[in-house]
Structure 1
């Protein structure tokens, strides 16, 4: 087994010509094409989240229907993410990413055609959502394992920061806002058509990239073990690494408490409390995305925090408290401000987390560990989405979002103490 990336000899720290650390990865051609394709795809995913919600509501105005479709998306991701991690460690990550974009294009195109011909039904949306979830299960581990192969270690924080800026701005801000305006002025099937075109552009950019011929990481030559041995080794590494195990366990319960209310209930809250609910929903999600971008940009523009685990858990734990406001307020500016703050803390914590995986996990098992991270941390995602709608019929929105805001604070404290994170970050400095 090779040494973790943070223990390998490091090249001289590189920066962009202007000296701004976050721009350094753009000196690499393959990264420029990759991030361009990723940006287009992320914008498409942001539009799809709103198109999917509004299309399901147009077909069946029932929170349970949207819960079912959203649960299919999460279920596909969770069911296949371990397979995606094994694939990322066994096959060229570039090919996996291209295949994922192809599947995305086909699935959304089918929804667009069915919608345009008046044949679309809720079960079609569920199948498309499940397909997109399965595709995402292969994308995340492949992308995480691909970055260290095209970029030196000292540029990984910047690259994760770029994604941390691009993803919330496009997926949670501009994409949803654009979809809300487009669907609000026209009809959902036009939104699906637009998403399909964007996936086609992303696929074209990915095909333009070149296969990696020289990697920035050194891996020993050895025969690949059985796939079950692959999975066992990755699981064993996670279990014997307290900071990794407890952060993933924290994330799993965090998702159960938070994701369903945001993804399923927020569209109904904005529809009930504000005029022009579709546009208001898109703008609230946009505020969340802008906050995430700012949080990611601030973290990635400097060095990794010395107390990186402490900062990360503070971002994800107390950072969720403003969700309480979402459940109570009838003021759009106040609701937007609350989700903006949650976005800032979420974006900052996510950039630190992605960098820790790439620097403290052995390179040859990064795909598996990334997939285990997604599997365990997102294990309750389908359940959260599936129960959010039915629970809202018997429990008030105020109570649901109160639990979503307070719960992560308690969970973060338990994880931080159980994993002895303060001692760990002192023993393993990454400066």
Structure 2
């Protein structure tokens, strides 16, 4: 191999003296290229204390996987010197500039792996890179932990708290998002009040002030409410309108299912002798916004509203609650929103539908926080939106072996970490 080619690859790999490419071997049959890197000089500075002109004690053989060279798998090999220092008395191995200590991949390869894992399932990224997914998980956890240690969380004032499932059964992850900056702040296993206390401790560790957190948006979890009361005394709680309306939807579904189970013939007669297919249209028509009804759903819902079914009352109650939220958003008047909600609660208590009576009792106990959520227009919609892609990636990759894996990929994708390695394929800045 000519000296010009070796010098070319030395420059391409970003090496500087005493590190140089001494040999390049291309094996087209194995689709592999190997770079032999040498460290010139018989005396080097001590890596431990910096003393100059210290003798080389011995050399240890090391190899690293690098970015592919065209279609070829690329590897770097080097006999890394260990320096025997007369100043500090230590024998220390030199650090190589292309990889972090202890890693079998170059820094550029790891940066590309992180870039791919932001958008692809980890197992799919591993297949593209021709390496094991366990190797990628270790690097995700290392760099995410390193980046989070450098993150500053000062200025956080509005947060959303929610839970997401880790796997089937009672296995949950609590996530806390900054609803202003739209980023994940904290994730931990469990969904008890202790998770909120852990978040506050993490917030302090990263320069945040719990006293600056003025607003917490969440579902009606008693455990989260207890944690906020203990650890964030300055914060006002508002219950997310998404969860409140979802509770009304569930109450409505309970009424419909029970009515169908008790007397399906009466339901069909009240709907004009509707077929089983039309009954399915009823289910979706009751759940969907009227503006999105199909023609069949419009027809079915017309019959429902003219009937005396319990399901019709349940649907009207659900729609009335949505209207309470719409009016609160329009008028932005806490007193009016409180009066409208009280009126709805009175109707729900008198409706003789047990699921709605229970819902009215639940909302009445938390009325101030529910009204606050109406008027402030704050929502956990961002948190809910982020749970979807994370669950999809989990199902696609089928490689979230532990809660640590799950939390690490959540931070990588949603925390907007500023101290991760930049992609090696980022566009060069114009000079």
| TM-score, normalization by structure 2 | 0.22
Decide which structure has the larger Cα Rg and report it: 2
| TM-score, normalization by structure 1 | 0.22
Structure with higher strand content = 2
Structure with higher helix content = 1
Higher relative contact order structure (alpha carbons within 8 Å, sequence separation ≥ 6): 1
